[in-house]
């Protein structure tokens, strides 16, 4: 496409034009008008200042795989009584996590134990934001009564910090890595799926053709996280389809009912093929059941620990 290279080239962005090219040009032009003999110095100075500006404006990856770093909570958006979106500030407005699509981060906190001791607890989460959104990252977290980190997160107030390390995980999405994704998510298992769905759709202008079908299972209608976002993505992109399943559906419900069954997988997801990958994320009992169901339908047997090349990948 004729407009794609310029749009994807950061050096042609408005911030570079306003912050680098125009000031450098004005400096050189001013010397041409006022004092030509200063021109070599003006060019050298504009190149030095421009180079420093370009360096300072580059996106900086902040994640470290072996070191926990503190990030400050700047915003907390309540979604329901036990679900919120937490926004954390990165060191600068052009900082990015540096998290490959499909991977996740570890969050650690030292929490009191029933015996009165203190213990560091670590849990994995997938941001719902991406590296195309510099300066911050967002986490969608559901707090459980028996949860450790999820309860701790719910207690956070703006200004407090969390400890983060990463990236983690074997899944790394690349454009057109398969012909189609079949996805089965339960509850907060939607977060890695949403990360990949958004990345695929963002890649459409540059040729990403991956088809995506998602089965999203929950207990009640109000438990469906980010339903408006998912419905809007499905409306805007003909290559993405979402199918909802509820244990306790409301009246006039036209989605699936009960647990996700092999029949639902056959009806809504792509058939097993070498260029199809099935992605799973949700509660352990659900993942176990989906691995058995997928094998019965002709998908290759899922391994205990998934690798990128596996046909059935569980986050």
Strand, helix or coil for residue 73: strand
216 vs 71, 242, 265, 300, CA distance in Å?
Answer: 31, 7, 11, 22
Is 230 in contact with 242 (CB distance < 8 Å)? yes
Q: Is 243 annotated in the active site?
A: no
Give the C-alpha separation, 72 to 86, whole Å. 10
| 45 known ligand binder | no
- Give me the pLDDT at residue 2, please: 37
Options 86, 188, 244, 281, the catalytic residue: 281
Please state at what angle helix 39-57 crosses helix 22-34, rounded to 10 degrees. 170
State the residue for tokens 């057109």.
Answer: 176
Is 125 annotated as a binding-site member?
yes
Please give the pLDDT value at position 58: 59
Instruction: List the catalytic residue out of 125, 136, 152, 173.
Output: 125
Is 188 among the residues known to form the active site?
Answer: no
Respond yes or no: is residue 104 known to be catalytic: yes
Predicted local distance difference test score (pLDDT) of residue 43: 76
Q: Is 149 a known ligand-binding residue?
A: yes
* H-type alpha helices, 78-207: 149-155, 190-202
Given 31, 104, 173, 244, the catalytic residue: 104
Q: Dig out the tokens for 177 from the structure.
A: 């890595």
269 is in an annotated binding site: no
First to last CA, the chain: 35
User: Domain 61-168 classified CATH 1.10.3720.10?
Assistant: no
Parallel, antiparallel, or unpaired: how do β-strands 180-186 and 276-281 relate?
Answer: parallel
Q: How do the pLDDT tens digits run along the chain, 315 residues long? A: 334 444 445 556 565 566 666 776 666 677 777 777 777 766 777 677 666 555 555 568 999 999 999 999 999 999 999 999 999 999 999 999 999 999 999 999 999 988 989 999 999 999 999 999 999 999 999 998 888 999 999 999 999 999 999 999 999 999 999 999 999 999 999 999 999 999 999 999 999 999 999 999 999 999 999 999 999 999 999 999 999 999 999 999 999 999 999 999 999 999 999 999 999 999 999 999 999 999 999 999 999 999 999 999 999
Residue 21 marked as a ligand binder: no
Ligand-binding site membership of 111 (annotated): no
The pair of structure tokens assigned to 65 is: 């795989």
CATH 3.40.50.80 assigned to domain 180-314? The reply is yes
Domain boundaries, the chain: 10-57, 61-168, 180-314
pLDDT at residue number 12: 61
- Could you tell me the strand order of the sheet in which 83-89 lies? 118-125, 104-112, 161-168, 69-80, 83-89, 136-142
Annotated binding residue 86? no
- Does residue 126 carry a catalytic annotation? yes
Measured CA angle at 222 (ends 194, 128), to 5 deg? 20
Chain position carrying tokens 């979402």: 242
Rounded CA gap, 109 and 299, in Å? 39
Burial of 44 (0-12, 13-18, 19+ CB in 10 A): exposed
Determine phi and psi for 181, rounding to 5 degrees.
Answer: -105, 130
pLDDT at position 32: 73
- pTM, 2 dp: 0.81
Distance, in Å, from the CA atom of 178 to the CA atom of 193, rounded to the nearest integer, reads 15
């Amino acid at each position: 496409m004729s407009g794609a290279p310029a749009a994807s080239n950061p050096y042609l962005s408005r911030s570079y034009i306003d912050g680098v090219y125009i000031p450098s040009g004005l400096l050189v032009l001013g010397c041409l008008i006022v004092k030509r003999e200063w021109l070599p110095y003006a060019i050298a100075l504009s190149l030095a200042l421009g180079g420093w500006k370009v360096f300072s404006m580059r996106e900086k990856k902040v994640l470290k795989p072996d070191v926990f770093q503190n990030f400050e909570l700047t915003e907390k958006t309540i979604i329901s009584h036990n679900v919120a979106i937490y926004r954390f500030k990165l060191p600068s407005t052009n900082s990015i996590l540096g998290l490959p699509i499909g991977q996740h981060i570890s969050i650690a906190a030292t929490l009191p134990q029933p015996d009165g001791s203190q213990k560091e607890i670590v849990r994995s989460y997938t941001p719902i934001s991406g590296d195309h959104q510099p300066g911050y990252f967002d986490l969608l977290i559901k707090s459980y009564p028996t949860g450790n980190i999820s309860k701790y997160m719910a207690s956070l107030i703006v200004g407090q910090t969390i400890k983060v390390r990463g990236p983690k995980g074997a899944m790394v999405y690349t454009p057109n890595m398969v012909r189609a994704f079949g996805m089965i998510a339960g509850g907060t298992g939607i977060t890695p799926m949403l990360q990949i769905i958004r990345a695929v759709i963002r890649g459409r202008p540059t040729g990403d053709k991956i088809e995506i079908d998602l089965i999203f299972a929950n207990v009640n209608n109000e438990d469906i996280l980010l339903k408006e976002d998912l419905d809007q993505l499905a409306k805007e992109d003909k290559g993405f389809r979402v199918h909802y399943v509820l244990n306790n559906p409301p009246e006039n419900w036209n989605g699936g009912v009960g647990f996700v069954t092999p029949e639902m997988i056959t009806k809504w997801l792509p058939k097993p093929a070498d260029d199809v990958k099935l992605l799973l994320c949700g509660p352990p009992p659900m993942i176990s059941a989906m691995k058995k169901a997928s094998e019965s339908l002709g998908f290759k047997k899922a391994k205990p620990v998934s690798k990128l090349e596996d046909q059935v990948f569980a986050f």
